[in-house]
Amino acid sequence: MGKKTVYLTQEGYEELKQELDDLINIKRPANIKAIKEARALGDLSENAEYDAARNEQAELEGRIQKLEQILENVSIIENIDNGKVSIGNTVEIKYIDDGESDEYQIVGSQEANPFESKISNESPIAKALLGRKVGDIVDVESPNGVYQVEITSIA
């Protein structure tokens, strides 16, 4: 199975590196200490503290492994101003059917956060916008059907 490239902004890359560093250097040692302390309490078969610490260890190790894999396959998004929508751009669009406007930053799937208007490059709207220019009217295929938007600005 091929490795999937993960697109991140520089800010997103730094956040994931910081999270990985925190997990390895702070949370992992604290978890190891908690396991040792719970083990010292005696009978492991009925030791809730030990079970909780082991479950936390599994979650920590899983997240560390996932972050390492992401960071191995990362491609930092460079904002290239060529007049076309690309990953990393902030795009303002106007919906043709109702005239409403929205602004989205197109980011990699790891950074997508609709509450911050950050949409994944893999989302239907981003796929429709990528490579297009200001003034283009594009069809967006969504689960609810096709709708049209006009690109009003690219930053």
Spatial contact of 56 and 31, defined as CB atoms under 8 Å apart: yes
Measured in whole angstroms, how far is the alpha carbon of residue 5 from the centre of its chain? 12
Q: What per-residue confidence (pLDDT) applies to 82?
A: 82
Q: What per-residue confidence (pLDDT) applies to 86?
A: 92
Name the DSSP letter for residue 86. Answer: -
Spatial contact of 143 and 41, defined as CB atoms under 8 Å apart: no
**Alpha carbon distance 17, 11 (integer Å):** 10
Domains parsed from the chain with CATH numbers: 6-76 (1.10.287.180), 90-154 (3.10.50.30)
**Alpha carbon distance 62, 11 (integer Å):** 23
Say if residue 7 is exposed, middle or buried (CB neighbours under 10 Å; 0-12, 13-18, 19+).
buried
pLDDT per residue as tens digits for the range 42-98: 777 778 889 999 999 999 999 999 999 999 999 998 877 788 999 999 999 999 999
pLDDT per residue as tens digits for the range 84-134: 999 999 999 999 999 999 999 999 999 999 999 999 999 999 999 999 999
**Alpha carbon distance 17, 141 (integer Å):** 35
**Alpha carbon distance 134, 54 (integer Å):** 53
Residue 2: is its pLDDT beyond 70?
no
- Helical axes 48-72 vs 28-39, angle rounded to 10°: 160
Measured in whole angstroms, how far is the alpha carbon of residue 1 from the centre of its chain? 21
**Alpha carbon distance 68, 76 (integer Å):** 15
Residue 1: is its pLDDT beyond 50?
no
Instruction: Evaluate the CA torsion angle 112, 115, 118, 121 in order and state its sign.
Output: positive
